[in-house]
């Protein structure tokens, strides 16, 4: 049983952060958390082999080379150097360090771009085409949906099937083509 996690990180702890944990094709946890301690504690309790976070994992003055490559491929990322992005990057770097100090690899992803790279037009189509079943009596929040996409990216990363956009200053992991034709 391979466990992975995805995090749609908010810049501030008072805002909702989506967290999803997958084991093979089963959703073990999906929900909203707030504090770093809650997020880290939950992730560590599942002992994932990888975590994908929707946030830049390194600081830069403006756009990193990897961000420019993403934009050239049509993926709309924001630069970690923007003043409004700094608190998010600070938080992501802090969480990454704690998880990696505890033996859990952390990768960077961008769920909106990952869904697009997959060729799937919706999260439902992505779930269907990856064999992941989720039985919820409610609609997922956007944060939860993005965390679930991030967890799927982590699964593909562990299987060595993730699409990578890389430059000397970073790697962003996306999904390979899973659904239909490019749109």
Which tokens sit at 149?
A: 């996409």
pLDDT at residue 121 in the model: 94
Within a domain: 149: yes
Within a domain: 19: yes
| Banded pLDDT at 137 (limits 50, 70, 90) | confident
Work out the average pLDDT over 125-148.
92
pLDDT at residue 180 in the model: 79
CATH code for the domain of 154: 3.30.420.10
Work out the average pLDDT over 9-32.
95
Within a domain: 86: yes
Within a domain: 144: yes
Within a domain: 180: no
Please, are residues 164 and 172 in contact by the beta-carbon 8 Å criterion? Answer: yes
Within a domain: 129: yes
Burial of 4 (0-12, 13-18, 19+ CB in 10 A): buried
pTM of the model: 0.95
Within a domain: 25: yes
Please, are residues 152 and 23 in contact by the beta-carbon 8 Å criterion? Answer: no
Within a domain: 179: no
Question: Which helix (H) or strand (E) is 66 found in, with range?
Answer: helix 65-72
pLDDT at residue 183 in the model: 39
Question: Which helix (H) or strand (E) is 147 found in, with range?
Answer: helix 142-158
Phi-psi label, residue 114: left if phi above 0, alpha if psi -120 to 50, beta otherwise: alpha
pLDDT at residue 81 in the model: 86
| Banded pLDDT at 24 (limits 50, 70, 90) | confident
Cα dist from 153 to 13, 63, 118, 121, 144, whole Å = 24, 23, 10, 16, 14
Please, are residues 109 and 150 in contact by the beta-carbon 8 Å criterion? Answer: yes
- What's phi and psi for 162, nearest 5 deg? -75, 150
Structural domain total, the chain: 1
Domain that holds residue 169: 3-174
Please, are residues 149 and 123 in contact by the beta-carbon 8 Å criterion? Answer: yes
Q: d(Cα 64, Cα 148) in Å, to the nearest integer?
A: 26
**Which tens digits make up the pLDDT trace of 61-111?**
989 999 999 999 999 898 898 888 999 999 999 999 999 999 999 999 999
């Amino acid at each position: 049983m391979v466990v992975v996690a995805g995090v749609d990180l908010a810049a501030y702890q008072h805002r909702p952060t989506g967290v999803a944990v997958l084991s093979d094709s089963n959703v073990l946890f999906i929900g909203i958390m707030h504090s770093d301690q809650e997020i880290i504690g939950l992730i560590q309790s599942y002992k994932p082999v990888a975590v994908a976070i929707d946030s830049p994992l390194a600081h830069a003055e403006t756009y990193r080379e990897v961000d420019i490559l993403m934009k050239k491929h049509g993926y709309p990322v924001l630069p970690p150097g923007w003043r409004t992005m700094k608190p998010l990057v600070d938080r992501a770097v802090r969480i990454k360090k704690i998880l990696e100090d505890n033996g859990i690899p952390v990768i960077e992803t961008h769920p909106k771009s990952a869904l697009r790279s997959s060729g799937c037009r919706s999260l439902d189509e992505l779930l269907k085409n990856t064999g992941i079943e989720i039985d919820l009596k409610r609609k997922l929040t956007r944060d939860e949906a993005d965390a679930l996409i991030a967890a799927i990216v982590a699964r593909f990363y562990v299987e060595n099937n993730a699409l990578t956009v890389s430059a000397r200053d970073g790697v962003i992991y996306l999904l390979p083509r899973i659904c239909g034709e490019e749109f």
